[in-house]
């Protein structure tokens, strides 16, 4: 039995879950998300809990059991609280700012780098930090990864864009004579 899949999901007040044959809709105070309903598991609402069970003990059903529960839990969490990723920009001459919905960065290239967030994700800046937030966990993580990929942290001076909780292992420079 999947350790994650067998845990029930508490559905807080103000959140409605609609279960169809191919999609599960989760609606809450922050918005609405659609989660795909996987074929080898069933989802049912019992009181204020959503319970995910698998149809049989096949390998695919076992794999989908924990996945379906995690996707549904993240959707409920997203429409209630939302998700947030913080990025730090380190480097001499590096600058970060917002110009309307567009994130403008000076990252040591010959041109400014601009990044426009997709719908459903908001980007905010404060000093040299970038905050990516939204209700879809996958989309927030993807946007944060795309911004980080613009200038990954390098190991010698630590310059670049890194996650706030990321530790960049520093290397020693050239060995002298």
Counting as low any pLDDT under 70, the low residues of the chain are 1, 177
Element (DSSP H or E) covering residue 143 = helix 137-149
Average pLDDT over the chain, rounded to an integer: 92
Judge contact between 9 and 77, C-beta under 8 A.
no
pLDDT at site 177? 66
Burial state string for 152-168 with b = 16 or more CB within 10 A and e = fewer than 16: ebeeeeebbbbeeeeeb
Model pTM above 0.85: yes
- Following DSSP, what letter does each residue of 17-85 receive, concatenated? EEE-SSEEEEEETTEEEEEE--TTEEEEEETTEEEEEESS--HHHHHHHHHHHHHHHHHHHHHHT-EEE
CA–CA dist 50, 125 (Å, integer):
37
Domains of the chain: 9-80 (3.90.930.12), 83-163 (3.90.930.12)
pLDDT, tens digit (0-9, with 9 covering 90-100), for 52-83: 999 998 999 988 999 999 999 999 999 999 99
């Amino acid at each position: 039995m999947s350790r994650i899949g067998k845990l029930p999901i508490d559905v807080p007040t103000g959140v409605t879950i609609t279960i169809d044959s191919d999609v599960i809709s989760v609606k809450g105070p922050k918005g609405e998300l659609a989660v795909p309903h996987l074929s080898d598991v069933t989802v049912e609402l019992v009181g204020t809990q959503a319970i995910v069970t698998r149809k049989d003990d096949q390998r695919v059903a076992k794999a989908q059991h924990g996945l379906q529960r995690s996707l549904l839990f993240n959707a409920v969490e997203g429409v209630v609280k939302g998700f947030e990723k913080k990025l730090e920009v380190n480097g001499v001459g590096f600058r970060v700012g917002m110009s309307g919905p567009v994130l403008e960065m000076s990252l040591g290239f010959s041109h400014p780098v601009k990044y426009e967030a997709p719908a459903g994700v908001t980007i905010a800046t404060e000093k040299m930090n970038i905050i990516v937030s939204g209700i879809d966990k996958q989309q927030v993580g993807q946007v944060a990864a795309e911004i980080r990929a613009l200038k990954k942290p390098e190991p010698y001076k630590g310059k670049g864009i890194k996650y706030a909780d990321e530790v960049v292992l520093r290397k020693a420079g050239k060995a002298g004579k």
